[in-house]
Chain A
Amino acid sequence: MTKKGIQFRLIQPGEADFQKTRGGFLSLKLGGEKRYPRVHLYRSFPLSEAGRYISVRDEEDAEIGIIEDLAAFPQKTVRLLEEELERRYFTPVIEEIRSLKQEFGYTYWEVGTDSGICRFTVKVGDNTARVLSGTDLLIFDVDGNRFELPSYESLESRHLKIVETLL
């Protein structure tokens, strides 16, 4: 492996021009000349460092470079990039639990999230809940959808009992 192969290219705010295409995707013009009509964004640390080390890839999924820190970019660009990232890492944040029942090894949720009201089913056991930092939980439903449950320890005790069975 050459040294070149180990180093990765950092994409600096000054040289990168991200735009939204007519079709709703993200395009990139790098350094004034190289044009990528469509780029994919991947989070290297989706759970622990969502805003840093974003891998920017071309249509063939080959890495163009890495954005070290989203915050270094202008606000407008950050919004654009986060919109694109949200598309891939769509994880609604649960704001209220409207109903939560546990029956026979499955839990049935009806929640209000920051993306609207939603219903899903989570299996008990099988690593369907993962603790993020502190008391935030990441929950996986039977279809592979993900939901974030912040400060789960401050839930009502009847809900807390059920959530604890997932851990």
Chain B
Amino acid sequence: METERHAATYYREPLPQHVRSLLGREDTGDVRLSVRADLDLAGSYRDQWVCVTTDELLLIDPDSEEVAFHALKRLRELRVENLVTTGILTAKIGRTRTILARFSNTHIRRFSGFVKLVEKLEHGEALTDTDIRGDQQEMYCPRCGRRYPDPHRQVCPRCLDKGSLFRRVLSYLPRYRRAILLILLCITASSLMRLFVPFLGGRILFDQVLSPGGRYYGRIAFVILLMIGSQLASMLLQIGYGRTNARVAAQVFFDLKTDIFTAMQRLSLSFFSRKQTGGLITRVNWDALQLQFFFIDGAPYFLVNSLTILGVGTVMMLLNWKLALMVFVPAPLIVYAVKKLFPRLWALFSRLFRRRSMLTSLVNDTLSGVRVVKAFGKEEQEVERFLPVNQGLYSAEVSARRLAATVFPLFLFIMQIGGLIVWAYGGRQVTGGSLSFGTLMTFVGYLALLYGPLQFMTMIVDWWTSCMNAAQRVFEVIDAQPEVRESGNPVRLPRMAAAVTLKGVSFGYEPNKPVLHDIDLEVRPGEMIGLVGHTGAGKSTLTNLVTRLYDVEDGEILIDGVNVKEIATADLRSQVGIVLQETYLFSGTVAENIAYARPDADRSEIIAAARAANAHDFIVGKPDGYDTLLGKKGADLSVGERQRIAVARALLMDPRILIFDEATSSVDSETEQKIQQAIERMIRGRTTFAIAHRLSTLRRADRLVVLEKGRIVEAGPHAELMERKGVYHKMVTKEREALRVIAVGAS
């Protein structure tokens, strides 16, 4: 549960008056830490306070006014336990483990940090200001005090308004100032030209040309030619701006897509694993397209039509202001209707887009899993799963379109009332002699000019809402901060000795689902560590952390004594290499794939790497050799071949630290030996973390680290662990399948 209070000091929250008086002291100078739990022990939302002084831990219940004191010396093993939706703070008091406090998920991180600080105090260490402040980013918007709902995006939805979204979209335009100016000129001129026509066709034609005594009596051809001329000029100007606009719009579209793609590349791994990738791709294409419509069709037409409306209004006012007013009588009605229906339409279209993407995901899901569907004979079930979702989309579509279909004719009708009024009032004036017939015809002509733009204006709602929705999603991607960021003052480490240390590392991909607990490991430069354990034990997670694909919050990882968070990203990435089980090869040639880490490597280096990986022979054996195209359009390689190319890639990179996730697929023994040899060459001399499956790899490792449920249970060389006859021994001898240990020949 949240409060809107601005928690400036994370671990020393200001105590309310009532609580301070309960403590029996006004001066709370000796209260080192104070945090608030939002639940009481019975599970009701009643704030409880947990305070720590120099030698005591206090639990304060403001309502019942109970204060419990515990000497810090008597509290052992203070810790936070994650339950599904809550956390509890527990400690051993004497021999009994006791629950001290309860809190909702919102406060778990805070209490975990709190426990660490208490430990610091117990060890006699002083707490610094940074400690008290916590390294949490600002959680609350400084303007309105509301919480940033997305912890990774410091954007306050309330303080962000649609106007600023629109301005931001417009900010892509200034680069093309000149072209836009040209467009604006053309649009204005074109509209003006068109305004001429009803004037010519009404007042001039009827009053001056066709009426006897008129100034241009009989000169019909002249007037018609003028009319044609205006229309022609208008059309040419329109073509002119259309063509310019096409170029500008495409350019803006290009800029936007580049920004999106760059942003996506910059984002951390967690962003991609969180949102469905399908959704992301749709987002980039579809939303950028929406915005393109805005630039090509929407904005120019909006301008044209606004100008037309303005121009028509002005001319009408000049001709006969009373009649002009009559035309605009229905205007307030329109405004009212728009204000009421606008937000509703926005909401309905949002819902429509959401349901549409839900359906797309479902279909993608089912179709990619088609093998399973058919194997289990569940085709009918899948159709039944599809039906309600499709139904949902259908109803959303119907409601949205229905409203749109109601709004539009409604507006039309309102405008037509205007026309009828003109005929009625105008007609009376003509018969009364106060208005010339020609002027009335001009008015009618202008009304016709008005209808088009007004109709468009009602459609604007449609276009505008979908565009702003799209813009919001696009900017969300562009704005998303990568979780793993380079530090402000990165430490350069151009040539790592590659000693790796993990201290007290705990980590979970999600806040209350820890995967690794308290990992302590020291690895010497050049040492090979074999990570062993059942699936889900945390092996891959550990390697993700060492390479800083994810950041740890508890504990630290050091390379050569420097925290990985401080190391310059370029140095980290260029000296830490990864060889995974699933070899990902890009669309490109074999040579390009091998040289991925170092595109400027010359041919001899590529060949040398391939030779060391025992890949050279099969590559040269292919018709296109190193120029063979890989990827979707390219050659299909066998698993063993892919592995060796991945090894070659790693060799060429020549990293100081190597993460190696051994593939478990079995290949024929001849290939197996080649692969083993390649791996051996790859590992030599580097600090290696290998997720090992092959017995030969396990033996080769300097030390094995056995992980179980995220903890290190055994560590040591193979021979030693086998002698110990513990967990490792059991895994290797009895449960080969668990490890999928591959023994080749007589190993």
Interface residues of A (CB under 8 A from B): 21-25, 38, 46, 86-92, 103-106, 108, 113, 115-121, 123, 125, 142-146, 161, 164-165
Contact = CB atoms under 8 A, between A and B. Distances in A.
Interface stretch (B94-102, B125-133, B292-300, B728-736): B94-102
B85 A91 contact: yes
Contacts of A146: 84-85
A144 B86 CA distance: 9
Given A103-B157, A119-B1, A121-B2, A145 B85 contact: yes
B371 interface: no
B307 interface: no
B472 A105 contact: yes
Interface string B195-221: 000000000000000000000000000
B43 A90 contact: yes
A161 B96 CA distance: 50
Interface in B129-158: 146-147, 149-151, 157-158
A120 B158 contact: no
B145 to A, nearest CB: 12
Interface residues of B, number: 41
A142 B41 contact: no
A116 B46 contact: yes
Nearest to B90: A23
Interface in B342-364: 347, 350-351, 354
A54 to B, nearest CB: 14
B105 interface: yes
* Most chain B CB atoms below 10 A, which of A86, A103, A165: A103
A103 B86 CA distance: 27
A31 to B, nearest CB: 24
A106 B147 CA distance: 11
Given A104-B472, A120-B1, A87 B83 contact: yes
A118 B88 CA distance: 19
Nearest to A144: B105
Nearest to B86: A90
A20 to B, nearest CB: 11
30 contacts: A23-B93, A24-B41, A24-B98, A38-B97, A46-B84, A86-B43, A87-B102, A88-B86, A90-B83, A90-B86, A90-B104, A91-B85, A104-B157, A104-B160, A104-B472, A106-B157, A115-B39, A116-B46, A118-B45, A119-B2, A121-B149, A123-B150, A142-B151, A143-B104, A144-B85, A161-B347, A164-B351, A165-B347, A165-B350, A165-B354
B46 A142 contact: no
A89 B93 CA distance: 26
B44 interface: yes
Question: What does DSSP make chain A's interface, helix, strand, loop or mixed?
Answer: loop
B3 interface: yes
Interface string B21-50: 000000000000000000101011110000
A123 B149 contact: yes
B106 interface: yes
A142 B104 CA distance: 12
Given A115-B44, A123-B149, A21 B96 contact: yes
B494 interface: no
B106 A106 contact: no
B465 interface: no
A106 B158 CA distance: 10
B354 A125 contact: yes
A23 B472 contact: no
Contacts of B157: 103-106
A161 B399 CA distance: 13
B512 interface: yes
A136 to B, nearest CB: 17
A124 B102 CA distance: 28
Given A21-B96, A105-B472, A115-B44, A87 B86 contact: yes
B511 interface: yes
Contact of A87 (B46, B88, B105): B88
A22 B160 contact: no
A128 B151 CA distance: 16
Contact of A165 (B44, B88, B351): B351
